[in-house]
Amino acid sequence: MSALLALFTAILAAPADAPAAGSPAVATVHFADGSQVSLIGWLFSYEFLSGKAGALPSNSLRRDVPELRLGGKSWPPRGVKIEIEYQMVERERDDENGEVVKEKVPRAVGLSITQDGKTSKVRPQAPDRKFLIGDEKSLNVLPRTLDLRGETMTGTKREVCVVSFSELADCGAGDENRVVRIDLQ
């Protein structure tokens, strides 16, 4: 009985926003349209193309890791807030009639990463080649996107495109697809 009372007292004494030991990490993703989704068991997923030297990269690969990595910097998997800044840019695409159409679309141009009350501003820069493919020097690498993969609270697997590292990859122009903030807890 005293063990149960000690456990109850410890739960009441713990801060309400502190995750319980061993509890799954939660990532809350906020979209430009005001909606949000919470993902548990999440990982950052770096999607890239690779191919042999002298050939166009065409083999699609992923590197799934818990930490955020941009360029040569990394951030831990909990207690981080990521805000994404967009700028409208013009791009060309082929419409259903095969005609070239110019359109303005939002493009991620900066990220504000807050950890322990300190904010860093960084560009959406792909992780270094060694992080993605290791020491394999005979392969070409073309980073494409940074995604967040996990499960919703109802158990549905979900993948959210966070930023694109290449003009050849797109996260979707609609506000319902455009990530504006991620809270990692």
Predicted local confidence at residue 14, as pLDDT: 37
Beta bridge partners of 184: 27, 80
The helix/strand/coil state of 155 is: coil
Predicted local confidence at residue 3, as pLDDT: 41
Predicted local confidence at residue 109, as pLDDT: 93
Q: Does residue 40 register a pLDDT over 70?
A: yes
Alpha-carbon torsion angle 156, 59, 122, 117, nearest 10: 30
> What mean pLDDT, rounded, does the chain reach?
84
Beta bridge partners of 147: 45, 161
Predicted local confidence at residue 106, as pLDDT: 87
**4 against 124, higher pLDDT:** 124
Q: What are the boundaries of each domain within the chain?
A: 22-184
Span 161-185, mean pLDDT? 88
Span 35-40, mean pLDDT? 96
pLDDT band (50, 70, 90) for residue 7: very low
Dihedral sign from CA coordinates of 126, 128, 130, 136: positive
* pLDDT tens digits, one per residue of 9-34: 333 333 333 344 445 689 999 999 99
H-type alpha helices, 20-71: none
Q: Does residue 41 register a pLDDT over 50?
A: yes
* pLDDT tens digits, one per residue of 53-73: 888 778 899 999 999 999 989
Predicted local confidence at residue 18, as pLDDT: 38
**45 against 94, higher pLDDT:** 45
* pLDDT tens digits, one per residue of 106-126: 889 999 999 999 999 999 999
Predicted local confidence at residue 103, as pLDDT: 84
Q: Does residue 42 register a pLDDT over 90?
A: yes
The helix/strand/coil state of 35 is: coil
Span 134-154, mean pLDDT? 90
Strand 36-52 vs strand 139-151: parallel, antiparallel, or unpaired?
antiparallel
154: CB partners within 8 A, 6+ apart: none
- The full DSSP string for 43-57 is EEEEEEEEEETTS--
Predicted local confidence at residue 36, as pLDDT: 96
